Structure 1
Amino acid sequence: MKKYFTIGEMSKLHNISIETLRHYDRFGILKPEYINEKTGYRYYSTKSFITIYLIKQCKAIGLSLEEIKEIINDYTSLDSVLNIIKNQKEIIDKKIIELNSIKNSIENLENSIEEALEVGINKPFIKFYEKRKLRKYNYTSRYTEEFEMKLRKSLIDIEKEYNSFNSKIAFETSYKDLIDNNEVVHTKTMIELDEGVLGDDDTVVTLPEGEYITFYYDDNFYDIKKYYSEFKEYIRKNNIDVIGNFYETHEMTRVSKDGVAKSLAKIEILLK
């Protein structure tokens, strides 16, 4: 006599919840051998063991229930199975690239926060940087609605073009205007991407390698003028020779539940 198993027994035997077995039934990938018309109870045979093992195999490699259903419905075709597996491999490869990009972004942010805490906020220090490339934009009227709209569009374009949202907002700030007129004048808006993403064209600005005086602040970015003033005073007091303009990069911006923004950012300028 054939042995049948209740849905509860199947659940215990295969470490699958009763609701999941019912869902598989509704979806059409694991039907019970028969259902008692009077009680509505589901009964399974040992044939279902093979199907459950197949489902678990497929789920372990990330296949959807639709893909599993396709394999079950066309189980005699190895070509069909191979095509589904190859497609899943391509999806996983893309996910690995995305996850590595996310991991790099997390590590960069972790390093910046640790560095800021180690050297101290509002304390200038010297740091060597390799050559860096940033995508540049012409709009510079910061703190306006028009600027925010243009910046959002640029960030979305970057996300679409490079399939990445791991980017930092940066500004070039005029050294001459700060020294001569005590004014913070942004001459470029820029977006910094992962290393090696950008090539060489007229949309890219290259920061040369070298030692930069670097200065972290962690505050509302509407109050940046006082930090530029502190930086300028530090350069003046220590009689430091610098080249070019300041670069201000925002590592991480947070917003409170009341809508108050605070950003960990660094200001830097190349030593002569």
Structure 2
Amino acid sequence: MKEKFTIGEMAKLHQIRESTLRYYDEKGIFQPKFVDPQTNYRYYTIGQFSMLSIIKFLREMKIPLKDIKLFVENRTPALALDLLENQMELLMNKQREIEYMMSMMQHKIGAIHEGIQQPSSAMTIKVLQARPIRAVAIDGDIPDELFEFHLNELQKEVHPLFAGDIGVSIPKEAILQQNYQQYNRLFILLDPQYTEVDSYSHIDEGMFACMYHYGSYETSIHTYGSLHEEIERQGYEIVGDTIEVGIIDYALTPREEEYVTEIQVPVSKKK
């Protein structure tokens, strides 16, 4: 039975690149065990097969090479257990992140679908729980450049994994006076699963009359008119600041006519 193997043979047998074996050799992670005294050629031995298999397994588990080198040099069952348990914890954390990102994507997909398919004249009543936000106060006539500056500063404060939709609020008094762009607050919605509501500003829970606006923000007066008519017709009254949440905005399309904004007006039944 053959007991010595060149680097090319070792690579072929174990389905690994020669360049990877050379790198392992250079870094002292896995080196040929036998040197021919006459030719100085270096060979791997059959006894090294199991070690290479372990190294490949650890790399498949995304364990860093520095940790693998430490294990190879000081390998014990206890060290192997510690190495694998630590990596298991890292992978489980990564799995939770991936699951959460998929949940966020599904939420965004659903919101875009609903925004695209919902007739602009349809009002819906939603009962929403308290929503944590990271917010900053702004003036109603804020220039676009300053708006973007505040938004950028907010985004720096929030881990991108836990940040949701961007929105603004409009005071009740401004809405009643039909001043629909007198914003008083810019905010980023945060995921309540990963955020203590009491630790942040929040949008109060309550009942909201909701309608989608299609197009530029400047043309929202028409949608607000329809929404107010429906609120009145169905026997509701406005009880707080209005919320606008961006569903499709400049980040998704350069065409303002394709923008979709959900308007959420807090209401209660008239007594």
For the aligned pair, the TM-score class normalised by the smaller chain equals 0.7 to 0.9
Equivalence for 1:250 = 246
How far off its partner does 1:124 sit?
A: 3.5
* Contact kept? 1:133, 1:198, Cα under 8 Å: no
Equivalence for 2:5 = 5
Equivalence for 2:70 = 70
In the alignment, structure 1 residue 173 sits paired with structure 2 residue 151: no
Secondary structure at 2:187's aligned position in 1?
Answer: strand
* Contact kept? 1:179, 1:232, Cα under 8 Å: no
Equivalence for 1:91 = 90
1:212 and 1:41 map into 2 onto residues whose CA distance is 80
Instruction: Go from structure 1 to structure 2 and tell me whether the alpha carbon gap of 1:99 and 1:45 turns closer, same or farther (over 3 Å shift).
Output: same
Equivalence for 1:226 = 219
Q: What amino acid maps onto 2:217 in structure 1?
A: I
Equivalence for 2:61 = 61
Equivalence for 1:235 = 227
How far off its partner does 1:153 sit?
A: 2.4
- Per-residue CA deviations over 1:211-254 (Å, capped at 9, x if unaligned) read 5322143x5xxx30212x02222135444434223211123545
Equivalence for 1:188 = 185
**Worse-matched range after superposition: 49-58 or 139-148:** 139-148
Structure 1 residues without counterparts, runs of 5 or longer: none
How far off its partner does 1:182 sit?
A: 3.7
Equivalence for 2:138 = 140
Instruction: Go from structure 1 to structure 2 and tell me whether the alpha carbon gap of 1:70 and 1:270 turns closer, same or farther (over 3 Å shift).
Output: same
How far off its partner does 1:113 sit?
A: 1.3
2:260 and 2:26 map into 1 onto residues whose CA distance is 51
Instruction: Go from structure 1 to structure 2 and tell me whether the alpha carbon gap of 1:234 and 1:41 turns closer, same or farther (over 3 Å shift).
Output: farther
Identity of aligned residues (%): 21
Instruction: Go from structure 1 to structure 2 and tell me whether the alpha carbon gap of 1:127 and 1:256 turns closer, same or farther (over 3 Å shift).
Output: closer
Secondary structure at 2:241's aligned position in 1?
Answer: strand
Instruction: Go from structure 1 to structure 2 and tell me whether the alpha carbon gap of 1:256 and 1:57 turns closer, same or farther (over 3 Å shift).
Output: closer
How far off its partner does 1:192 sit?
A: 0.7
Equivalence for 1:51 = 51
In the alignment, structure 1 residue 265 sits paired with structure 2 residue 261: yes
How far off its partner does 1:64 sit?
A: 1.2
Secondary structure at 1:167's aligned position in 2?
Answer: strand
Instruction: Go from structure 1 to structure 2 and tell me whether the alpha carbon gap of 1:61 and 1:40 turns closer, same or farther (over 3 Å shift).
Output: same
* Contact kept? 1:135, 1:198, Cα under 8 Å: no
Secondary structure at 1:82's aligned position in 2?
Answer: helix
* Contact kept? 2:112, 2:248, Cα under 8 Å: no
Q: Normalized against structure 2, the TM-score is what? A: 0.80
Q: Normalized against structure 1, the TM-score is what? A: 0.80
Pairing of 1:14-25 with structure 2 (within 5 A): 14-25=14-25
Q: What amino acid maps onto 1:117 in structure 2?
A: I
Structure 2 residues without counterparts, runs of 5 or longer: none
